[in-house]
């Protein structure tokens, strides 16, 4: 859209110079160079305003079953990746690495599949627990976000993706 506006402005400027002829004091070549320079600056501006597309959604496992309890806090690796636009989530490590600075939204769900068992798990940003369930977070490029299961707890998942982890970039 900006490119089209820049082109229209350039054409308008050029049409005025053609009407002046040789005595108008401005050479056609000068206007063409100025217009070309304006277009180049518009292209450079658009390059810096590029907003990457970042979104992921992953279930804990494809096969289902319980994970845990463990004697120590354990990082959760969500291996059943459904969406991974921008490839910022790693199904090998379970870690999301922010590709750009910006505001992100993260959400997770979990299931234990028993009524007598209390369940607990937390989202971490750079080794610090930051939330439970869902939250907006301002991240710097390279910040790491992942899920942990506290010691003594377990989590359940199956093909219905009851236990999932997702996130996306709202704006840079």
Highest mean predicted confidence (pLDDT) among 34-43, 56-65, 72-81: 72-81
Three-state secondary structure call for residue 152:
coil
Q: Is the dihedral of CA 33, 38, 41, 42 positive or negative?
A: negative
Extents of the domains making up the chain: 2-48, 55-171
Instruction: Note the pLDDT of residue 8.
Output: 46
pTM value > 0.75:
no
pLDDT, one tens digit per residue, over 126-152 is 887 776 677 889 999 999 999 999 888
Domain topology for 55-171: Jelly Rolls (2.60.120)
Whole-angstrom distance, CA of residue 42 vs CA of residue 32: 15
- Overall average pLDDT of the 2-15 stretch: 49
Kindly report, residue by residue over 148-168, the tens digit of the pLDDT. 998 888 888 887 788 899 999
Q: Torsions phi, psi of 166, nearest 5?
A: -150, 160
Q: How many residues does the chain have?
A: 172
Reported as a single tens digit per residue, the pLDDT across 19-59 is: 454 555 555 555 566 666 777 777 776 666 678 899 999 99
- Predicted confidence at residue 30, as pLDDT, reads 58
CA distance 93 to 55: 17
Residue-level pLDDT at 5: 46
Paired residues of 139 in beta bridges: 102
- Distance from C-alpha of 133 to C-alpha of 137, rounded to nearest angstrom: 13
Instruction: Identify the three-state secondary structure at position 14.
Output: helix
Position 90 confidence tier, pLDDT thresholds 50, 70, 90: very high
Closest to 26 measured CA to CA, from 34, 39, 40: 34
């Amino acid at each position: 859209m900006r490119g089209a506006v820049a082109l229209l402005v350039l054409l308008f400027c050029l049409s005025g110079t053609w009407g002046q002829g040789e005595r108008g004091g401005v050479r056609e070549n000068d206007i063409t160079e100025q217009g070309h320079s304006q277009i180049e600056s518009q292209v450079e501006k658009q390059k810096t305003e590029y907003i990457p597309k970042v979104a992921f959604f992953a279930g804990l496992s494809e096969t289902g079953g319980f994970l845990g309890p463990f004697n120590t806090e354990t990082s959760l690796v969500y291996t059943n990746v459904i969406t991974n636009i921008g490839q910022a989530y790693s199904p090998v490590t379970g870690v999301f690495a922010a590709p750009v600075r910006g505001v992100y939204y993260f959400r997770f769900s979990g299931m234990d599949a028993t009524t007598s068992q209390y369940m607990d798990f937390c989202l971490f940003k750079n080794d610090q627990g930051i939330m439970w369930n869902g939250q907006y977070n301002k991240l710097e490029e390279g910040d790491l976000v992942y899920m942990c299961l506290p010691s003594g707890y377990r989590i359940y998942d199956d093909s219905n993706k009851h236990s999932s982890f997702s996130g996306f970039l709202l704006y840079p």
